[in-house]
Amino acid sequence: MNLLEGCKKSAEFGKNLGKKLRIGWFYPDFLNLYGDSGNIEILVSRSSLRGIPVEIEKIDLDTFIDPALMESLNLVFMGGGPDLNQQHIYKDLLEKKGSSLTEYLDYGGVGLFICGSYQLLGSYYKGAAGEIMEGLKFLDFFTEHPGVDEPRMVGNVVSEASPVLLEDPVFKRVSEILPEEEKETGKSLHTLVGFENHGGRTYLDEEVSPLGYTVSEGGNNQSDKTEGVVHKNMVGTYLHGPILARNPHLADYLISKALKIPELPRLNDEVIISAHLESKKLIR
């Protein structure tokens, strides 16, 4: 796979842009399950190939967050983690970093939150034994684990992007990448694919938009077909894969939004699009 094949000019793009992508990576050592760090690698790669410089700011337990630091970031990433690791960061996030983070997102900051960190943005998480963990209350949703005897939600997932995402002009542009042969479905890639693995079930308030609606089993919970959440410029999701691996449009959506540029030059995503379309055969 050569992302620059036939797109040599794209490599020049960043030179005159005068912007760089500054990613704040929250708790990289604790929250990195199921290849989630691949999302960072993909954002770095897709930006660098277009000549856009990237800087990664690792935000750990001992990092002091001040407004200047948050203002210097244009993308925030937080992965999923095993329960034990989530407990390690929980106190630090809630007491020391939470308000800066939600303020950043409230002002339209771009963010990607996977699985456990997505759950922490809601009102609360109720664990398998009934224990309640308060969330950051950024959005009106909650997560409840139905108990250890209920099976985890595990498997390949395909979802249709929600209307909020589809109507977003940036998403419209980055998703117009389907090749000619796929004419039946139109030019744009309006699905998201990935692999979920979670015990908690998340329920969104009516006012909150999901990221997509599953056409397979799985998603936020077992009843309403919603998957993930999208609000302003933040995306929360249960999808691993890592999610950006087979969803190049979502990666470019985040980069475009972060740099506030209306259009990103194309990369050659032929192989990735085939893998994306193939994924529809994997669902349960």
Partner 1 sequence: MWIMYLISVWFTKVLHRLIKLFNLGNGYTWPGHIVNKFFPKIWSNFRRGFSQGVILVTGTNGKTTTSALIAHFLREEGFSVTANRSGANLLSGVLTTLLLRTNIFGRVIDDFAVLEVDELNFDLVLKHLKPRTIVFTGLSRDQLDRYGEIDSILERWSVALSDYIGSCKGSLGEDLSTLVINTDSPHLEKIMSSYEGPVLRFDGSDDYLKLSPLSGTFNSYNVNAAALAVKSVGVSERSIETSLPNFKPVFGRGEKVYFDGKELDLFLAKNPASFNNNVEMLNQSNTLYDSLLIILNDGIPDGRDVSWIYDIDSYKLRQVCMGKNIYVAGTRHLDMEIRLGYAGIIEVINTDHTSMEELERVAGSKVAVLPNYSAMLEFRECLLGRNIL
Active site residues: 115, 240
> Which member of 197, 209, 213, 232 binds partner 1 (CB under 8 A)?
197
Cα separation, 110 vs 103, in Å, equals 12
Cα separation, 9 vs 11, in Å, equals 5
Q: Which residue has the tokens 């000019």?
A: 9
- Of 30-38, 99-107, 222-230, 258-266, the segment contacting partner 1 by CB under 8 A is 30-38
Q: How far is CA 84 from the centre of its chain?
A: 22
> Which member of 165, 235, 250, 272 binds partner 1 (CB under 8 A)?
272
CB of 145 to partner 1, least distance (A): 13
In a 10 Å sphere around its CB, with 0-12 CB exposed, 13-18 middle and 19+ buried, how is residue 97 labelled? Answer: buried
- Of 17-25, 50-58, 154-162, 209-217, the segment contacting partner 1 by CB under 8 A is 154-162
Give the bridge partners for 51, in sequence order: none
- 70 interacts with partner 1 by CB under 8 A: no
Instruction: Single out the residue of 162, 118, 167, 160 nearest to residue 143, CA to CA.
Output: 118
- 253 interacts with partner 1 by CB under 8 A: no
The rounded radius of gyration (Å) of the Cα atoms in the chain is: 18
Instruction: Single out the residue of 107, 94, 75 nearest to residue 231, CA to CA.
Output: 107
- Of 37-45, 92-100, 103-111, 168-176, the segment contacting partner 1 by CB under 8 A is 37-45
In the shown chain, the binding pattern of residues 111 to 140 toward partner 1, with x for contact by CB under 8 A and - for none, equals ------------------------------
Output 13 or 195, the one with its CB closest to partner 1. 195
- How many residues form the binding site for partner 1 (CB under 8 A)? 32
Cα separation, 241 vs 38, in Å, equals 9
* Angle at 242 (CA atoms; ends 238, 243), nearest 5 degrees: 60
- 282 interacts with partner 1 by CB under 8 A: yes
- Of 56-64, 99-107, 147-155, 213-221, the segment contacting partner 1 by CB under 8 A is 147-155
CB of 46 to partner 1, least distance (A): 9
In a 10 Å sphere around its CB, with 0-12 CB exposed, 13-18 middle and 19+ buried, how is residue 126 labelled? Answer: middle
Contacts with partner 1 by CB under 8 A lie at 1-3, 33-38, 41-42, 45, 82-84, 152, 154-156, 195, 197, 240-242, 245-246, 271-272, 274-275, 278, 282
